[in-house]
Each structure stands twice: as structure tokens, then as C-alpha cells.
Amino acid sequence: MKMLRPEAAEEPELVRGFQEEYGLLAAIKHPSVVRPHRLVESGGALAIVMDLVDGEDLRRRVRRDGPVPPAIAANIVAQVADALAYLHDQGIVHADVKPGNLVVPADGGAVRVVDFGVARRMDGTPPVSIHATPEYAAPEVVGGAAPSPTADIYALGIVLFELLCGRSPFRGGGPLQVLRRHGMCAAVPPPGLPPVVWPVIEECLSPDPARRPDARLVAARLRGVEPALDGAPPLPALAADQITWWPRPAGAAAAVAKVTWVPLRAARSRPLRRTWGGWSRFPWPG
């Protein structure tokens, strides 16, 4: 159950947003998107009753165990890309794609995309304030544009990089420093990153939204390279001083405007099992 805090329940705008989140979820039917069952309103309390997924989110998994074997990373992100393709077809942008919002069931079922608290319909209206997690924000969104399907693809590229490398490429320093790097810097592959997967990441992270592939193409390309990654071990954990980004050439940086940001904390998900169900071909380190 996802509950609206009592203090938030006194704010009409927050209540309306919570109800809209349920409305978005209620219209969605996809195996990789968490399903709602009902909206509960009782004694001033609001809650969304959703599927219970016996598993844990990828943020916890990666922080505990480090980089994911490349074939598993490709498989996971291809599943998420399938879910995003469905959402985009429905006119919905998730707007906060990140490992903390991706839950892997312990039984090996489909990866679930969760937390639609900042998801929005694609109506093209620029937001007054941007609600997002700095490490995964597309440069045009940092510049004040409304979240779009291409912004979800950008975040998905960051997720793939993080699963393979153990951390996102632009991490380091305060939130504003991280935000500026999306427009001013380019991610670079660390040593050992499988060369067949880097072009997918690089295109997803293009500063030009028009040059990013759509979600279906990302899924197809990752499934295409998955056989070449079969059996490849996970990369070693990156050293603290490992370079994962580099300044873009003068004139090639994306515009970054001064906008009001409301960073989100990473989603919480209770870890229930330490095994990586469904991928016994690739024993999880530890």
C-alpha cells in the first residue's frame, strides 16, 4: 500500500496528484508495470493498494553487490524498455526512471516499473517545477522542458550504465553539479565495458532528444547483443577516482536553464531475498 502522509492529505494539490497517479495506473495493463487494485479513502487517509512484489529494487541490489553481469543488465533494461514503449503508446511519461523504481521479483518474474508519483500525460505543458532525481534527468528537462518519452530513454541509458558499472556516470558533488553535467559533459565507458553495448548507452544519452532511439528499438538492440554478452562476468567495482564523464567540446553542450528543482529521494523497497531468481545461469557474486 502506498499511503499519502497525513500532512500531505491536507493539501488539495497533493491529494489531486495522488488521485491522478491512481488514475494513470488504473488504465495500465502490462506485465512489467505494477498494477493497482483500488484507491482507499477512509477517515481522511488516502492509499493506493497495489501488487505485492516479492523482491527488491535494483538500487539496493547494486549498492550491496556491485555491477550486474552484462547479459543480465541487458535483459533487465530490455524488459524496462518494453514497459516504457507501452507507456509511451498510452501517452504516459514515467519521468523518474531509475534503479530505485525498478523491482526484480525473487521468483524470476518480469521486472516491475513502480512509483508513478511524477508520471504525466504527454500534453506538452512545461512544468512549473521539475520533480526528478538529478542523476537521471535529461539535459532538456534540466533546461525546463516538460518530461517526454525521450527523457525516459535518457534515464534508461543511465540505468544501463549503472547496472554495468555500479554507479551512474555523472555522480559526484552536489545536486546542482550533477544536473549541470547532463548538459555540459558526456559519459565515457570505463575499461572493460563490453563494446557491443556501449553504442546503445551512447545513443540513449545523446544531448539531442531527437537522436535518441525509441523504447522499442532499445529493447530490440539489447536483445540482439545479449547472446554476445552471455557468460561475461560483471565488471569490477569502479575506483572512487575512475573517470566516467568528460566535458563536451565547446559549442556542443546542451542548454541548461535556471529552473526550480524538487529532487526526489530514491524509492524504498524492502529486500526479501538475496538470490537473483530466474537467472541461475549467472550466479550473483556473494
Look at residue 124 and tell me whether its pLDDT is greater than 60: no
Residue 51 designated active-site: no
DSSP letters for 198-209: HHHHHHHT-SSG
pLDDT at 286 exceeding the cut of 50 = no
State the pLDDT at residue 130.
58
Q: How confident is the model at residue 251 (pLDDT cuts 50, 70, 90)?
A: low
- 224 versus 108: which is more confidently predicted? 224
Q: Which has the minimum average pLDDT: 48-57, 129-138, 264-273? A: 264-273
Statement: residue 35 has pLDDT above 70 = yes
| This prediction's pTM | 0.84
From the candidates 51, 65, 82, 96, which is the catalytic residue? Answer: 96
Range of the domain at 33: 2-50
Per-residue pLDDT tens digits for 50-73: 888 899 999 999 999 999 999 999
41 and 65 fall within a common domain: no
Q: How far apart (Å, rounded) are the C-alpha atoms in residues 110 and 44?
A: 35
Q: For the chain, how many structural domains are there in total?
A: 2
Give the pLDDT band of residue 229 (cuts 50, 70, 90).
very high
Q: Do 40 and 65 sit in the same domain of this protein? A: no
Query: Does residue 127 belong to any structural domain of this protein?
Result: yes
Residues 121 and 223 both lie in one domain: yes
269 and 137 Cβ atoms separated by less than 8 Å: no
Q: Is 239 exposed, middle or buried (0-12, 13-18, 19+ CB in 10 A)?
A: exposed
Query: What CATH number is associated with residue 13?
Result: 3.30.200.20
Same domain, 187 and 220: yes
pLDDT in the model for residue 117 = 82
Q: Give the residue ranges of DSSP H helices in the chain.
A: 12-26, 58-65, 70-89, 139-142, 149-165, 175-184, 198-204, 215-229
Asked whether residue 277 is assigned to any structural domain, the reply reads no
CA-to-CA distance for 39 and 50, rounded, in angstroms?
9
Q: What percent of the chain has pLDDT over 90?
A: 57
Confidence of residue 276 (pLDDT cuts 50, 70, 90): very low
- pLDDT in the model for residue 91: 92
